[in-house]
Structure 1
Amino acid sequence: MTVKYQIVKNDTSKREKVSLDFLSEDVAKQTIKYHSSFDQYSETPLVELKELAKYLGLKNIFVKDESYRFGLNAFKVLGGSFAIGQYIANKLGKSLDELQYRTLISDEIKEQLGEITFITATDGNHGRGVAWTANQLKQKAIVYMPKGSVQERVENIRALGAKCEVLDKNYDDCVRQANEEAEKYGYVMIQDTSWDGYEDIPTWIMQGYITMAYEAYLKMEEQNVRPTHIFLQAGVGSLASAVTGFFSSVYSDNKPIITIVEPDKAACLYKTAKADDGELHPVKGDMNTIMAGLACGEPVTIGWPVLNAYAENFLSVPDEVAAHGMRVLGNPLKGDERIISGESGAATMGVVSQVMSLEELKDIKEALKLDENSVVLCFSTEGDTDFEHYRDVVWNGLYQNK
């Protein structure tokens, strides 16, 4: 078996620290208050995989299962819904605390707002979250998806009343088209990618993601357990930045080792960390990876400083790693709970399992400082959002290490 991992070690002790105030526990309390006001809200499971940890030679493994989030099978709605809430609060000159879910969906608020069209680009989950929120608010949504997007994800978005088109472009070019139309027609762009002049909404999206991290933190505190290692998958890096910033803030006295995992065909953060020249280094081209939610070539500008200051490792891994993670989570050892995790959701567990099992990855294991005292936290960010492909991987063995 040959597995090609590439790693960049990032000496955070030599990095200039950046403010984490916008990703702090105080912000987390606001985001969870907002999300918990939704009728559809319930805390997603934090699954303890004791038997897998024992088998791999770790102290314990915890996986946050986001397939239960708001009935949408993925975490992304947390960011889009919070950003839209903040946008409306600003537009009306109100505090978000005054605009909880029941108020937001009221006819009174709709009358004050008028008609709004929200527009975004997505590989699936983010667009579905934006479409769902717009539908709840009786507003419109336009969603663009890159070439090669799965029809099931397209139909899930259309089912929420949004206009959804697959363009003959990669993800980053879809973002550019959505932004051009937003500027031309007065639409509201809801995107987690940031650039000069477009930073408020991506910041709010990052803050929305903290609800997921905060739930995990509170559950582990309840059990008097702290993670020693956190593994986070990354596309543009908004989720990774948000969770890295939050845990670096609340565990400032004894921060876990944080590792960022990307597909090798879209490893813009790995590439940026490797260059270490103060510049962002995008990845161009089709980025044809099964990890569709991570197929993003341009790092988030507001998130990179957080990752650079607080993430110790950047990993670039092949598609087979995500497929392995899907099989591990979907076929648990006796006594552990099953987790249905999609391609992007399972990437980090694939890393943990392979690093602890394969002799050829011994150097990576040592670099990550994983051993029998390690308590690992991962986030399964999506369920089987591509139903057929999930079964091709988990049932039929698609994408195996050669």
Structure 2
Amino acid sequence: MELLKWVHNNKSRDRNYKKEKLVGFEEKEMKEVYDFHKSLPGYKATPLVELDNLAKYYGVKKVWLKDESKRFGLNAFKVLGGSYAIGKYLSQKLGKDMSELPFNVLISDEIKKQLGDVTFVTATDGNHGRGVAWVANKLRQKSVVYMPKGSAQMRFDAIAREGADVTITDLNYDDAVRLANKGAQEHGWIMVQDTAWDGYEEIPLWIMQGYSTIINEIVEQLEATKEEKPTHVFLQAGVGSFAGAVQGYLAHLYGDDRPITIICEPHGANCIYKSMEANDGKPHNVTGDLTTIMAGLACGEPNTISWKILRDNSDFSVSCDDQVAARGMRILSSPLGTDTRVISGESGAVGLGLFSILAEKKEEYAELMKELKIDENSRILCISTEGDTDVEGYKNVVWNGAHPNK
């Protein structure tokens, strides 16, 4: 199979193309999200790592990497979405404004008494489920988590340690989502799922809004160092919730002056790529086992909210062989010169891996590089969404050389 497959989404910059109205990412909502996250115990902005030697090596002006392995000690960004969505759901249940419910109030005896017992349910490859379980545990509530077949034992154990009732199923991710939804309907559990479909879009939008804290932090970190905004942003996608959230907020902040955005997916689960390739404006699913080392991106059905945002605002979609992610992991683990070492998992490293391949194989991908407009003035942003959430898998790639460059 070829290393990369790509499609240029010309609609995103076409002034004659009628986009759907972008809702949910206005300043007021994003401030509410940010203030809520700052109220969580142990909140601290994750590092925005400057890879200046790597930038010089590849002939660009800047390379930044946002390191989400430092998020609340959970080794991944997903808790940002689950925590805000649960907080928002509870605020509505209690009839209160979010500003009245910082986290120390939500976990109080008084609020627990008002709420009674609540069970939150979700399906996950690991990171999202751990975030939901962590929040439920802090709230002294219950959580039920279903994982797709082949899920790593380390990810299972991490969720179980948060007190969740967790099961590795014999289903792929999308069928595990359906199983969780069935449980919610039968038992009255609250479904906290980071994908959306017709009839289930409110909580997924809250989850996406929760991810906006990443961009808020980046904007503040760049302002603190008086840096210009990125010209190019590489965003990994599974169902597209993370990518759609970041893209939506970038579109709201910068409008037509937003960075060029490149969506990255594994060949084995490239539903956003397939949807953009079809060029009919509709989401398209990928079925089967969704085989890839990028477990967090092994999703075959696009989030209905995210798809519209990505369709209308993202510039490129690239489907990647697993070796692209493996390469990114190794580069970040073995930095050049004084650049900071970053431990990035399979789903976290694909964006940096893709950039490195394009920068090194300029002649092979000359057409794509020309359309991307990457040159000596480019400022590249990648977001590592997870650390080594599967230590054995990480060692197999970084130590043992699994999925070598070809």
Instruction: Identify the residue that residue 163 of structure 2 maps to in structure 1.
Output: 161
User: Which residue identity is paired with 1:121?
Assistant: A
Please list the CA deviations of residues 71-102 of structure 1 after superposition, one character each: whole Å capped at 9, or x if unmatched. 00000000000000000001111111111100
What are the within-5 Å matches in structure 2 for residues 133-282 of structure 1? 133-222=135-224, 223-252=226-255, 254-282=257-285
Taking the aligned partners of 2:258 and 2:327, their CA distance within structure 1 comes to 28
What are the within-5 Å matches in structure 2 for residues 22-171 of structure 1? 22-171=24-173
Equivalent pairs counted in the alignment come to 401
Taking the aligned partners of 1:296 and 1:67, their CA distance within structure 2 comes to 21
Superposition deviation, residue 253 in structure 1: 5.1
Instruction: Identify the residue that residue 5 of structure 1 maps to in structure 2.
Output: 4
Taking the aligned partners of 2:273 and 2:198, their CA distance within structure 1 comes to 22
Superposition deviation, residue 279 in structure 1: 2.0
Taking the aligned partners of 2:76 and 2:366, their CA distance within structure 1 comes to 32
Please list the CA deviations of residues 90-128 of structure 1 after superposition, one character each: whole Å capped at 9, or x if unmatched. 111111111110000001101100100100000000000
> Is the 8 Å Cα contact of residues 13 and 256 (structure 2) preserved in structure 1?
no
Instruction: Identify the residue that residue 385 of structure 2 maps to in structure 1.
Output: 381
User: Which residue identity is paired with 1:349?
Assistant: L
Taking the aligned partners of 1:8 and 1:395, their CA distance within structure 2 comes to 33
> Is the 8 Å Cα contact of residues 69 and 77 (structure 2) preserved in structure 1?
yes
Taking the aligned partners of 1:104 and 1:236, their CA distance within structure 2 comes to 30
Report SS of the residue matched to 2:30.
helix
> Is the 8 Å Cα contact of residues 64 and 378 (structure 1) preserved in structure 2?
yes
Instruction: Identify the residue that residue 304 of structure 1 maps to in structure 2.
Output: 307
Instruction: Identify the residue that residue 391 of structure 1 maps to in structure 2.
Output: 395
User: Which residue identity is paired with 2:177?
Assistant: V
Report SS of the residue matched to 1:302.
helix
Q: 1:361 aligns with which of 352, 362, 365?
A: 365
> Is the 8 Å Cα contact of residues 232 and 259 (structure 1) preserved in structure 2?
yes
Superposition deviation, residue 40 in structure 1: 1.6
> Is the 8 Å Cα contact of residues 53 and 338 (structure 2) preserved in structure 1?
yes
Taking the aligned partners of 2:211 and 2:62, their CA distance within structure 1 comes to 24
Superposition deviation, residue 27 in structure 1: 2.1
User: Which residue identity is paired with 2:318?
Assistant: L
Superposition deviation, residue 361 in structure 1: 2.5
Please list the CA deviations of residues 108-157 of structure 1 after superposition, one character each: whole Å capped at 9, or x if unmatched. 10110010010000000000000000000000000000000000000000
Taking the aligned partners of 1:240 and 1:266, their CA distance within structure 2 comes to 15
> Is the 8 Å Cα contact of residues 281 and 311 (structure 2) preserved in structure 1?
no
Moved more, 286-295 or 248-257: 248-257
Please list the CA deviations of residues 220-250 of structure 1 after superposition, one character each: whole Å capped at 9, or x if unmatched. 1232321000110000000000000111111
Q: TM-score, normalised by structure 2?
A: 0.97
Taking the aligned partners of 2:282 and 2:366, their CA distance within structure 1 comes to 31
Distance change in 2, residues 1:240/1:230 (3 Å): same
> Is the 8 Å Cα contact of residues 25 and 246 (structure 1) preserved in structure 2?
no
Taking the aligned partners of 1:94 and 1:48, their CA distance within structure 2 comes to 41
User: Which residue identity is paired with 2:31?
Assistant: K
Superposition deviation, residue 259 in structure 1: 0.8
Distance change in 2, residues 1:21/1:196 (3 Å): closer
> Is the 8 Å Cα contact of residues 119 and 182 (structure 1) preserved in structure 2?
yes
> Is the 8 Å Cα contact of residues 328 and 350 (structure 2) preserved in structure 1?
yes
Superposition deviation, residue 3 in structure 1: 5.4
Report SS of the residue matched to 1:360.
coil
User: Which residue identity is paired with 2:332?
Assistant: L
Taking the aligned partners of 2:82 and 2:325, their CA distance within structure 1 comes to 25
Moved more, 248-257 or 236-245: 248-257
Moved more, 141-150 or 302-311: 302-311
Superposition deviation, residue 277 in structure 1: 1.3
> Is the 8 Å Cα contact of residues 63 and 378 (structure 1) preserved in structure 2?
yes
Taking the aligned partners of 1:286 and 1:312, their CA distance within structure 2 comes to 28
User: Which residue identity is paired with 1:97?
Assistant: S
Taking the aligned partners of 1:18 and 1:62, their CA distance within structure 2 comes to 31
User: Which residue identity is paired with 1:13?
Assistant: R
Taking the aligned partners of 1:144 and 1:190, their CA distance within structure 2 comes to 12
Q: TM-score, normalised by structure 1?
A: 0.98
Residue 289 (structure 1) aligned with residue 292 (structure 2): yes
User: Which residue identity is paired with 1:228?
Assistant: T
Distance change in 2, residues 1:253/1:310 (3 Å): closer
Superposition deviation, residue 364 in structure 1: 2.5
In structure 2, list runs of 5 or more residues that go unmatched: none
User: Which residue identity is paired with 1:141?
Assistant: S
